[in-house]
Amino acid sequence: MRIGGSPALEWGHTAQPRNRAPWARHVVLFTSGKGGVGKSTVAVNVANALAQRGLRVGLLDADVHGPSVPRMLQLGGERVRWNDAGRMEPAENFGLRVMSVGLTTPEQDTPLAWRSAVATSALVQMLDDVEWGELDVLAVDLPPGTGDVQLTLAQELPVAAAVVVTTPQAVATDDVRRALRMLLDIGVPVAGVVENMSGFVAPDTGARYHPFGAGGGKALAREYGVPFLGEIPLDPAIGEAADRGTPIAAVGDAGQRELFSELARRVHAALQAGAARAAGGSADASTPRPTGRPTAGVNG
C-alpha cells in the first residue's frame, strides 16, 4: 500500500525512521551494487580511520549472509559474550566496537541460509540487544544490492550518510546505479562514491595502470549529483592486510594510511555538514540535496 504519494513509505524512508540507535550520533551506511568490490574492506578501514580521528566508532556487520568484518579485524575466533543484564557485548579491536552474525555462529563457516525475515530480525536484534555504549558513529556494512536488509535499516535508523563503493568494472553495470537510486529515492543522504581497485601501481617502476578503465566512479558521481570521495588503488597489501585481520588504515605505510584518513575526513565532514543542516544553523543549509536524477549531458 502506498501512503500519501511519493516516495513510497512502505519501502521505508529515512525522513521518518524509527530510531533503534539513539546511542549513536551518526549512522553511516557502506553499500555497493555488487559483491566483491571491496565494500567491507572500505567499511573496516574508513571506520578505523574515523576512530583514529578520536571518534567513538561501532561497526555493525549487516552483511548477514557473508559476514567478513570479524576476520578483517582479527575477531574471527571471538564469540558473542553476554553481560549480567542479558545483553550482548560488542567485540573490540583496532579501536572499533564490532557486532556481526559471524560472532554468533558456532563456526566461522557455519552457513547462514536465512530467509530475509530472519536476516532482518537478526539485524534488529544487533541494534536492540547489544550494549553498544555511546557512539559518535555507527558504521554499517550492508550486504550488496537493494534488498530487504537495506530497506529495513533505512526504516529503523536515521541514516546520516551513505558511502557507495564501486570498482571501475562495476560502474559499467546497472547494479551500482540501482543501489544509488534506491538510496536517493528513500531519502538517504549520499556522502559519496568511492572507486575501489582503481588502477594498479607497479611496485617496481611506480607506473600506474588502469586495466579496468579510469574515471568511472567520478563520472557516476557527477551523473547522480553526489560527491566523489576518492579512489583506492588495487594494492595487494590492502587485500593481504584484510586477510591477516589488520586493517591497512592502521598498519599500512604512510601513503596507504593517508588514503583512508582522507576518506574518513570527507565522511566526517559530510556528517558535520548534515548535522549543521539539520540544526538549520549553517551556510550549508542552502546547499541543495542531490536529486538522484541523472544530470543531462554528463554521461557521455
Q: How far is the CB of 232 from ligand ADP (least distance, A)?
A: 5
**In sequence order, what are the residues at sequence separation of 6 or more whose Cβ sits closer than 8 angstroms to the Cβ of residue 250?**
48, 52, 94, 257
Residue 268 and residue 36: Cα distance in Å, rounded?
Answer: 25
Q: How far is the CB of 140 from ligand ADP (least distance, A)?
A: 13
| SS3 (DSSP) at 266 | helix
**What HEC string does 107-129 produce?**
CCCCCCCCCHHHHHHHHHHHHHC
Q: Which of 225, 227, 239, 245 binds ligand ADP (CB under 6 A)?
A: 239
242 belongs to the binding site for ligand ADP (CB under 6 A): yes
Q: Which of 39, 97, 222, 257 binds ligand ADP (CB under 6 A)?
A: 39
Other Cβ atoms less than 10 A from the Cβ of 173: the count is: 13
Piece of 84-92, 123-131, 236-244, 281-289 that binds ligand ADP (CB under 6 A): 236-244
Piece of 122-130, 131-139, 152-160, 234-242 that binds ligand ADP (CB under 6 A): 234-242
Q: Which of 7, 35, 225, 227 binds ligand ADP (CB under 6 A)?
A: 35
Piece of 38-46, 48-56, 132-140, 217-225 that binds ligand ADP (CB under 6 A): 38-46
Alpha helix (H) residue ranges in the chain: 39-52, 69-72, 116-128, 148-156, 168-171, 175-185, 216-224, 236-244, 248-251, 254-279
Residues at the site binding ligand ADP, with contacts judged by CB under 6 A: 32, 35-41, 68, 196-197, 232, 234-236, 238-239, 242-243
